[in-house]
Structure formats: C-alpha cells, structure tokens
C-alpha cells in the first residue's frame, strides 16, 4: 500500500477575494477556513500524513492552529511560492524519495475548500489504485466558452455534455506528478493553475481519472462565497447530528449539568425531559419559576445556585422567548420593548451570566432562533428581528469566546408544535409541525459535540 499524504495548499494571499486577511484564515463557524479542511483529512482513515504549504506571513498562525486543534497527522509545514504551482512543487520536493524507493501518493487540496467530504477523499484514494492521476469535478451547469483574450471573442464552445468544473483534491502517484513537473519546468511558456493540468499537458498519455465532486465542495474565492459555504456547512452539520447514535448520546450526556432557561414549556421542556432521561443533572427555570431572562440578577443567582449545588455547569440552553402576532403599528412602544427585552436582551443577559461558569468547563451555550431570522415576517416583526439578532450574537460570541473554549451555537427550528406557537397561530395540522422532542434530540447532540458558531436548521423530515 502506498503511503498517502494530503498536501493542503495554503500559501495564497487571497487578493481576489476582497478579504483583509488570507482567505484560508478567515473565520467560518468560529474557526479558520483551513481548520475545517484540515479536519476532514485528519479524520479520514485513508490519509497517513498531512503537509501544509503556507506563506512566511501565515506560518506562525498555522503552526499554532496545528497545535491547538491537535492535528496529529500534520508532519510538515512548508513554505510555498508566489504561484500555486510553486506551492505544489514545494510539497513534491519535500517528499522526494530516497534512491530506489517509491514516493508517496500526494493528494493536493485547496485549503479554501473547507467542505470536502469523506466520500470525495475516499474516491480519490480508491482511484489511485487504478490510475496514477485523479481529479475531482462536477458537471458544468453553465456553458463554458473558450475565448480569445486579445479580442474578447469566442474561439470555441465545447459541447456542454463534456465540460466539467474541476475541484480538488487531486491525487497523484509521486513519480508521475514529479515527471510532469520536471518536463513543465523546462518549458519557458509553462503556466498552470492546477496540478492535473500539468499531467494533461506534459504527459498526454497518462489518463487522469475523474471522480464526482460536489456543489458544496466550493472554493472560497469572493467574500460572498463565505455566506454560501456557511449555509452549506450548517445544512451538512444538521444532517450529521441526526445520525448521532443513541449510545453516544447516552454516554456523553450522562452526569452533565445542563441548565435550561425557558425549560417549563415547549422545546425547553422537551430538552430538559430528554436530558434527564439520558442521565444528566438538569435545572430548569422560566418566568413562571421566578427567573425572567431579562433580569440579570435573577439569572446570575440561578446559575450561581446551580453551580454551587452541582459543582459545575456544562451547558446553558436558552429557549425562553415571547411571540406576539401583532402588526407593528398596533403595538405600543412598551410592547415592542417587552418583546425586545426578552428575545434580545435576555440572550445577552444569559450569555454574560453564563460566561464564568462555561469557561471553567469548556461548556456550551445554546440559543434558539426561528426560520423567520433569514427573512423578516409580517405580523411578528419584533420576534423576527430579535431572532436575526440572536443568530448574529451566536456568531459573534463563538468567535469572541473560542479562545477560552466556550462553544456557542444556535438551533433554528422551523414551525414547531409548542404552546407558544399555538397561542400565536391557533390550530395547525400537527403533521405539518416539528415535534419538540425531535428538536430536543438535535439540541442534545449539539451539546455533546465540539462545534461552535453554527446555526443548525432543523426541518421536518430532515434526512428522510
């Protein structure tokens, strides 16, 4: 079996992206983009070793990241060049085999494609059992036009049935990619933007096998791509949590101390009940037990008492909210302030009061949004706007508190069968609504994970 080395190319400066930092270091769900890509290769059983190619300017930050994220497979941090191919070459040279030995399989991946899947990596590795070069591509949905850049006119239009869009990873047998580059470097007109292109041009007899990529395996190029990648990431993560096996939930929730604010009703009630069933120590509070989340002293006292009693707090879930369906012009400012006090200020209060407790345990803070956060809804503008604020707060705190190890996430359930919803919307057919127990299960699986800065969409019949 060939040794397989994943080479993560991260020496670009991201000039095109309009970011103020190299795009591989831009934060996505609370962690640098490259950390997500690295994690995929770290976790893949077919990858033996990882090499990162970076720039001098980013080297310290990358090395610190490798330490912080316990990326045990990373054995080399190399310096790349000005052009992407120079960065690939740095890795090829670093893995030069000794006389008579065979070099490893090299799998080059853009650090700025954080959503590469286990399936794609596996397909590339499997492809290398039969081919010495493997590419990843998706069908081109737009027509590809080959142009003459001098005259801005069309040269040819390839048949769309045969055009695909290349992605990474791209895998190679060492000797083949080495030979292709050796020939390329003796060509004064050599230019390339990807490694398979070097094989196709300089070793035309070598077949390059193509494995299917994925739309979500997109490259972070422009600032707006970050929002799309972020959304893909949350959808994928929500699906992953659906599959959390029972025994894992059971073993990881057991004996944790979980505080549920808003735990006397609706989703909070379901979370508390399920967490208890899994053996957690659960403390609930709500306005009806005398703890209004907008009242800082009340929240602080409650958390303080819980910590004194249990010795620790592992998670704080804030599911308390108020929802009134009233057109804004029919609300007086007192009512507006009331909604904002609970739905927004309450979230800030809970966050501030939880900080010291969760810092001690590297714990979790979990908020709740609503599908109205993405698009404000008529008749409940204060609630919609508040939920958009909660999402933003989640992202900000995940970033702000990542250094102290607190995880901050948010669940975004679609219409859910709760007393609060029924009061505002009246009767709705139950089979059109989410079951709060399903949302609770998802919430618990988030509380046993390591993610931070995620907004988990929960929709009915997810994954089915």
CB-nearer residue toward ligand C5P: 26 or 203: 26
Could you tell me the smallest distance in angstroms from the CB atom of residue 284 to ligand C5P? 46
The nearest distance, CB 156 to ligand C5P, in angstroms, is: 24
Residue 198 half-sphere exposure, CB side, CA atoms within 13 Å?
27
Of the pair 123, 194, the CB lying nearest ligand C5P is at 194
- Return the number of the residue (86 or 118) whose C-beta is nearest ligand C5P: 86
Residue 414: partners with Cβ closer than 8 Å, 6 or more residues away: 371, 434, 457, 458, 459, 460
Closest CB to ligand C5P among 46 and 81?
Answer: 81
Burial class (CB in 10 A: 0-12, 13-18, 19+), 308: exposed
Half-sphere exposure of 459 (CA within 13 A, CB side): 10
Nearer to ligand C5P, 42 or 319 (CB): 42
Task: Report CA-CA distances (Å) from 150 to 153, 154, 156, 190, 295.
Answer: 8, 11, 15, 19, 67
Strands (E), 319-396: 364-368
Q: Which helix (H) or strand (E) holds 232?
A: helix 225-242
Number of H helices and number of E strands within the chain?
15, 17
Least separation in angstroms between CB 52 and ligand C5P: 9
CB of 82 vs ligand C5P, minimal distance in Å: 5
User: Residue 447, Cβ neighbours under 10 Å: how many?
Assistant: 25
Shortest spacing between CB 12 and ligand C5P, in angstroms: 3
DSSP assignment of 425-460: H----GGGSB-HHHHHHHHHHHHTS---S-EEEE-T
Quote the strand ranges of 101-254, DSSP E. Answer: 105-110, 133-139, 146-148, 153-156, 164-172, 208-212
End-to-end distance of the chain based on CA atoms, in angstroms? 38
Least gap, CB of 166 to ligand C5P (angstroms): 11
Q: Which is nearer to ligand C5P, 177 or 390 (CB)?
A: 177
Half-sphere exposure of 278 (CA within 13 A, CB side): 27
Cβ proximity to ligand C5P: between 27 and 460 the closer is 27
For residue 236, the minimal CB distance to ligand C5P (Å) is 20
Q: Please report how close the Cβ of residue 117 comes to ligand C5P at its closest, in angstroms.
A: 17
Specify the residue, 81 or 212, whose C-beta has the smaller distance to ligand C5P.
81
218/229 Cα distance (integer angstroms): 7
Residues that bind ligand C5P (CB under 6 A): 9-12, 24, 53, 80-84, 86-87, 110-112, 219, 221
Considering the complex, state which of residue 11 and residue 238 has its C-beta at the smaller distance from ligand C5P: 11
Q: Which is nearer to ligand C5P, 180 or 298 (CB)?
A: 180
Virtual CA dihedral for 67, 70, 72, 76, nearest 10 degrees? -30
CB of 217 to ligand C5P, least distance (A): 13
Residue nearest to ligand C5P (CB): 12
Q: In a 3-state reduction of DSSP, which class is residue 281?
A: strand
Q: How far apart are CA 405 and CA 298, in angstroms?
A: 26
**Shortest CB 4 distance to ligand C5P, Å:** 19
């Amino acid at each position: 079996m060939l040794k397989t080395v994943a080479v993560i190319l991260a020496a670009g400066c991201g000039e095109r992206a309009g970011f103020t930092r190299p795009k591989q270091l831009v934060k996505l769900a609370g962690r640098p983009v490259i950390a997500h890509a690295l994690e995929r290769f770290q976790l893949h059983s077919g990858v033996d070793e990882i090499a990162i190619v970076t720039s001098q300017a980013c080297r310290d930050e990358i090395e610190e990241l490798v330490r912080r994220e316990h990326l045990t497979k990373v054995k080399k941090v190399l310096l790349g060049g000005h052009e992407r191919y120079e960065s690939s070459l740095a890795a090829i040279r670093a893995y030069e085999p000794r006389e008579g030995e065979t070099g490893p399989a090299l799998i080059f991946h853009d650090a700025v494609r954080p959503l590469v899947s286990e399936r794609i990596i596996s397909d590339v590795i499997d492809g290398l059992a039969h081919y010495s070069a493997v590419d990843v591509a998706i069908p081109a949905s737009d027509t590809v036009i080959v142009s003459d850049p001098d005259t801005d006119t069309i040269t040819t239009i390839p048949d769309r049935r045969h055009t695909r869009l290349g992605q990474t990873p791209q895998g190679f047998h060492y000797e083949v990619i080495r030979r292709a580059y050796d020939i390329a470097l003796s060509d004064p007109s050599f230019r390339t933007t990807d490694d398979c292109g070097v094989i196709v041009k300089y070793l035309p007899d070598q077949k390059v096998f193509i494995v299917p990529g994925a739309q979500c395996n997109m490259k972070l190029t422009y600032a707006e791509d970050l929002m799309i990648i972020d959304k893909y990431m949350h959808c994928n993560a929500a699906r992953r949590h659906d599959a959390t096996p029972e025994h894992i939930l059971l073993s990881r929730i057991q004996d944790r101390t979980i505080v549920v604010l808003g735990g006397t009703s609706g989703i909070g009630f379901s979370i508390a009940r399920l967490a208890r069933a899994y053996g957690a120590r659960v403390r609930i509070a709500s306005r009806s037990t005398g703890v209004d989340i907008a009242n800082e002293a009340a929240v602080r006292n409650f958390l303080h008492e819980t910590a004194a009693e249990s010795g620790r707090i592992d998670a704080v879930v804030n599911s308390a909210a108020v929802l009134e369906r009233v057109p804004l012009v029919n609300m007086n400012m007192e009512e507006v302030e009331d909604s904002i006090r609970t739905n927004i200020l309450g979230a800030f209060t809970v966050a501030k009061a939880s900080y010291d407790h969760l810092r001690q345990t590297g714990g979790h803070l979990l908020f709740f949004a609503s599908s109205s956060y993405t698009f404000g809804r008529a008749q409940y503008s204060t609630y919609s706007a508040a939920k958009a604020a909660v999402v933003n707060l989640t992202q900000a705190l995940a970033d702000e508190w990542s250094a102290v190890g607190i995880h901050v996430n948010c669940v975004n359930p679609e219409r859910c069968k709760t007393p609060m919803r029924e009061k505002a919307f009246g009767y709705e057919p139950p089979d059109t609504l989410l079951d709060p127990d399903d949302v609770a299960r998802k919430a618990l699986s988030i509380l046993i994970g390591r993610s931070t800065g995620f907004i988990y969409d929960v929709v009915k019949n997810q994954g089915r």
